[in-house]
Amino acid sequence: DGRVHGYQCEIETSDRKWAGGIYDEARRGWLYPLSRNEEGRNAFKPGEWNHYRIEAIGNTIRTYINGVQCANLVDDLTAEGFIAFQVHSIHDEALEGKIVKWKNIRIKTSDLEKERNRVADHAPEISYLQNELTPNEVRKGWRLLWDGKTTNGWRGAKLDGFPQKGWNIEDGILSVSASDGGESTNGGDIVTTQAFSDFELSVDFKLTEGGNSGIKYFVDPSLNKGAGSAIGLEFQILDDKKHPDAKKGKNGNRTVGSLYDLIRAENFENSRGKNFNGIGKWNNARIVVKDGHVEHWLNNVKVVEYDRWSQAFKALVEKSKYEKWKDFGVIPEGRILLQDHGDQVFFRSIKVREF
């Protein structure tokens, strides 16, 4: 359609300080925001000449500003393309007439490995490989929690084995089928066969219009043996615009990314709203748990933070739908769960590392 698209190394002077991050123009949006790279955020110097270095080698893209690493991306969607310099509309009259200048533009396309910069500790690797670990992830203790092909490592939350209906595996995607929109009324929730205590979990998910699901953790399948979903802390997955649950609960605490019915998800980085890619597009949920401290991240932007052993958390539970469940959210270890809420939702690239 003539629209330029592809990887974009950001040049910007806004307060969020994401210069050097990687945006996927006209496709997937932000791939590498600098929300997890504080040192990289301070590399760009507004009003001065800044030296950019971009290393695009194989399936990796690494960016540097003034010698400071900003992005450390692994992605295999596009292997080649032309180089462009962008003219971008800002929609801010106060910035009318501002100028961007470039100079000393050079490129090298051979013998790249020997001149490659060393990866900085402050720039975490973010990978978009599907159901595959990078060598760096393996070294850091990551493993696939779902292998992309089988039901190994998973079972029904209220079954001895994997559900015989309601869940599908096709082309490296695990999906829950649409049914009546009820909690666990078709195939039912699925849980890991292993219990976890301190961990970091990453899951790609894609919602259909009006969809509802969730990723639960510290799940005790024995708590609720009756109707409905198994009980545990929940990273909410929801179409906030089309599903009525978004308006229930308190102060938006049932919207996407929230700690369901307890803490509303909100952008910790800036006032631009949650970094949600949209319905029908892949989004990433990241849950980090260590020594009682818990974080929810949506597309690499933190949206929830709490201490599950604190008095504040206890007070939230006492005023929620979970008040009747003994030791809710504070058990030492529990299963990880993908929810069947009667709507079609897709999952892939489910990986975990334990601390």
pLDDT digit string, tens, across residues 37-60? 999 999 999 999 999 999 999 999
pLDDT for position 320: 94
Do 216 and 331 reside in the same domain of the chain? yes
The answer to whether residue 217 is domain-embedded is yes
Say which range, 66-70, 138-142, 257-261, 320-324, has the weakest mean pLDDT.
Answer: 320-324
Q: Are 209 and 242 found together in one domain? A: yes
Angstrom distance (rounded) from CA 191 to CA 196: 11
Residue of 319, 280, 281, 317 lying closest to 299 (CA atoms):
281
Mark whether 51 and 151 lie in a shared domain.
no
CA angle 241, 243, 246 (to 5 degrees): 75
Model confidence over 135-192: pLDDT tens digits? Answer: 999 999 999 999 999 999 999 999 999 999 999 999 999 999 999 877 888 899 999 9
My answer on whether 196 and 172 are in the same domain is yes
In a domain, 115, yes or no: yes
Asked if the structure places residue 1 within a domain, the reply is no
209 and 349 co-located in one domain: yes
Token pair 């500790």: residue:
121
- Of 127, 160, 177, which one is at a domain's C-terminal end? 127
In a domain, 88, yes or no: yes
List the end-to-end C-alpha distance of the chain, in Å, as a whole number. Answer: 47
pLDDT higher than threshold 90 for residue 300 = yes
pLDDT of res. 108: 96
Could you tell me the CA-to-CA distances from 44 to 10, 66, 126 in Å, in that order? 10, 7, 21
Average pLDDT, integer, range 326-341: 96
Does residue 158 lie in a domain region? yes
Q: Which CATH number goes with the domain that contains 274?
A: 2.60.120.560
Domain that includes residue 115, residue range: 6-127
At 269, the pLDDT band (50, 70, 90 cuts) reads confident
Domain boundary among 98, 127, 156: 127
Q: Which of 93, 127, 161 is the last residue of a domain?
A: 127
Contacts of 284 (CB under 8 A, 6+ apart): 202, 203, 204, 205, 297, 298, 299, 300
Residue 110 sits in the same domain as residue 175: no
214 and 296 together in one domain: yes
The residue type found at 192 is T
| Cα–Cα nearest to 264, from 281, 285, 279, 246 | 246
pLDDT at 183: 82
178 and 68 assigned to the same domain = no
**Residue whose structure tokens are 């609960």:** 249
Residue 90 has pLDDT above 90, yes or no: no
The SS3 call for residue 237 is strand
> What does the pLDDT read at residue 211?
96
| DSSP per-residue letters across 283-338 | EEEEEEEETTEEEEEETTEEEEEEETTSHHHHHHHHTSTTTTSTTTTTSS-BEEEE
Q: Is residue 342 included in any domain, yes or no? A: yes
Number of domains in the chain: 2
Residues 95 and 195 in one domain: no
Q: What's the one-letter identity of residue 319?
A: K
* 105 & 251 share domain: no
